[in-house]
Structures are given as C-alpha cells and as structure tokens.
Amino acid sequence: MASPAPPLATLGILSIGDMGVGIARLLIAHNYRVITNASDRSQATQDRARKNSVDLVPTDIELCNTADYILSIVPPRDALAIAQRIATAFSNPDFDKTRRHPLYYLDLNAISPRLAREINDLFANSSPDVRLIDGGVIGPPPKLKEDATWYKPSVPVSGPHKLSDAQSSGKHLVEVLNMQHINDTIGSATGLKMCFAALSKGFTALAIQSLTTAHNLGCLPELQEHLKVFNPGAAKSVETVTRMSPKAYRWVREMEEIAETFEADGGFEREESIFRPVAKVYDFVAYGTELGQEKTEDRKRGKTSEDVAVLMSEGTARRKEKTE
C-alpha cells in the first residue's frame, strides 16, 4: 500500500486585507492551512479572518512556530515593522529551534529595492536562519471565477532562495501562487513591481489632473471624445480613476517608494523624480476630497470619471478658499 501524501504546508499571512484575504482563499481552496496573528488588529479584521477560514493564533512566536512560510502583505509603510516583528519572534527563546524545515519569509509588499535590501540585512544580522524571498504582487487579488477556475495575479520573486526548492510543498506552492523566480538578486522583484506600478498608477494620477482641469475649463466631454477618436487606449485607461479612491491612502507611500527606486536604482536625481509630486496627488485624493471619505454615498466614491473630476474640483476649490 502506498504511503499517504505528506500534509501540505501551513502559511502565515500578515495581514488580512483585500489582497491577503484573496491569497488566503486561493491557498485554502488548494488545501493549505492559513493562519494569522490579528491580536493587535480590530474586531472587524479578526472577524474577516474567521469568516474566510483563516485560523487565528495569539502571538508572533506561535505564528513562526506553526507556519512553514510567512507572507507579508501589508501597506508599504508597515513592511519594515512587520519584518522586525518576525525577526524579534524568531530570536525569542520560545521559538522552536528544532523545527524540521527552515522558515521562509516572503515579502510581497510594494516597496523599493532599497527597503527590500534593508529587510534582507535585518534578517541576515538578527535571524540568519530565516530565508527571505523578495517579491511583489502585480494585479488584483485572486478570485474564483464563474467557471470554477481561479484568476491569479502575477507574483514575481527574486533572491538566493527559491521557493521551488523548499521541502514543504514548495513546488506546488509556486504553481498555486503563480510565482516566477526572476533572478538571485534581492530587489529585482520589488523593482519590477515598482516599475510596473509607475506606469499604471502614475498614469492614473495624470488622468486625475487632466480630467479635473478639463472639468474646470468646461471641456471635459470634448476631452473624452477626442481621446476616444485619437487615443482610444488612453480613453480606456482613463477609467482607472473610478477604482483608485479606496486605495489612494495606500498609494501615497507606494509612490514614494517608486521615487526611491528611480533615484537609488534608476540613477535619476531627486530633482528629476516625478513620483514625489504624484504621491501628493494621491494624498490629496485621500485626505482632501470626498473621494477619500469612507462613509459617503456611492456617487462620492467616483462611479464615473466625471464624478471623479467633479469631486476633485470641489476639493481644490475648498483648498483654495482656505488659503485666500
């Protein structure tokens, strides 16, 4: 009689936001156990984890003792703090030093290569047995489609450690997560994420300003018609403005990370970097307009590009009144 197949790995996810939930659902659908430590998070976050069959553990130490892999999927501003939490737990005397397999830490955050290298140095200096994999997620969260197959975003990774070599479900996990190993350099995968986001989210910021200005000038419909005729690709891409407002607060730091990437790794001077001003555009969307308010009627979320232009215009007008 053939021996039973070994159990699939256990994955810890920090944290359970939209992307974390999507990846958790994908993993659970493929028979992986997913755990998280949400003891410092809101009741709503803990309820979201339970609702999606993610098991809650009370401490980072138990998370590290139980998980074969830890996926860090947090806003960019929290990436280093999460890595420090895991490094602290790993060095705690209660951490299980006799575990069978190394602990893999997959940083999948929208951060600059410089910050990825800093996180690598953190583990190298304090927890050298943690195997860091540098990565990013390109595309929206995983989702089960009507035909019962899964949409999966791309997950490029890099660094000296390959997940496919991991003893606990590594090859299968690579396939499930749609993961591609680029090269052995820490920073390459996060750099790819930054360069991709620059072209997509950078364009959205340009569209916000263009639509708002055209509205103020009374020529927004004409702009839209000319785009359809002379630049249909841009006309289609402009509609991304209707989806950005709930994410604008997160994109502020991501744009700053892109600026850091282009300066530190692209060779551009700070004065040549255009993404620090782009970060300010998203900061204004998030905190200076009704688009960024959570409790507003649907129209104020910007259901159409015209809505976005109107609400941005109202926000700039209020700001001007305050300064006069």
Residue showing tokens 């944290």: 15
Q: What is the pLDDT of residues 136-180, one digit of tens each?
A: 999 999 999 999 999 999 999 999 999 999 988 999 999 999 999
Model confidence over 6-55: pLDDT tens digits? 678 999 999 899 999 999 999 999 999 999 999 988 899 899 999 999 99
Q: For residues 261 and 296, which has the higher predicted lDDT (pLDDT)?
A: 261
Q: Do 29 and 152 touch, CB atoms closer than 8 A?
A: no
Q: How many CA atoms within 13 Å lie on the side-chain side of 194?
A: 28
Q: Among residues 42, 9, 1, which one has the least CA distance to residue 17?
A: 42
Question: 14: which residues sit within 8 A by CB, 6+ positions away?
Answer: 20, 36, 37, 63, 70, 71, 72, 73, 74, 82, 85
Strand 69-72 relative to strand 55-56, pairing: unpaired
CA distance 324 to 72: 45
The pLDDT assigned to 97 comes to 75
Q: Hey, is 180 helix, strand or coil?
A: strand
Cβ atoms of 177 and 19 closer than 8 Å: no
Q: Say what the pTM is.
A: 0.91
Question: Where in the chain are the domains?
Answer: 10-186, 194-323
Q: Is 133 exposed, middle or buried (0-12, 13-18, 19+ CB in 10 A)?
A: buried
Higher-confidence position of 323 and 48: 48
Given pLDDT bands bounded at 50, 70 and 90, which one contains residue 1? very low
Residues 6+ apart with CB under 8 A from 85: 14, 60
308, 208 in Cβ contact below 8 A?
yes
User: In this predicted structure, what is the pLDDT of residue 302?
Assistant: 63
Degrees to nearest 5, angle at CA 134 with 129 and 136: 145
Rounded to 5 degrees, φ, ψ at 55 are -80, 140
The band of 303, judged by pLDDT with boundaries at 50, 70 and 90, is confident
Tokens of 55: 């098991």
SS3 state of residue 223: helix
3 state DSSP class of 56: strand
Q: Are 136 and 156 in contact (CB under 8 A)?
A: yes
Tens digit of pLDDT for each residue in 98-132?
A: 788 889 999 999 999 999 999 999 999 998 889 99
Fold classified for 10-186: Rossmann fold (3.40.50)
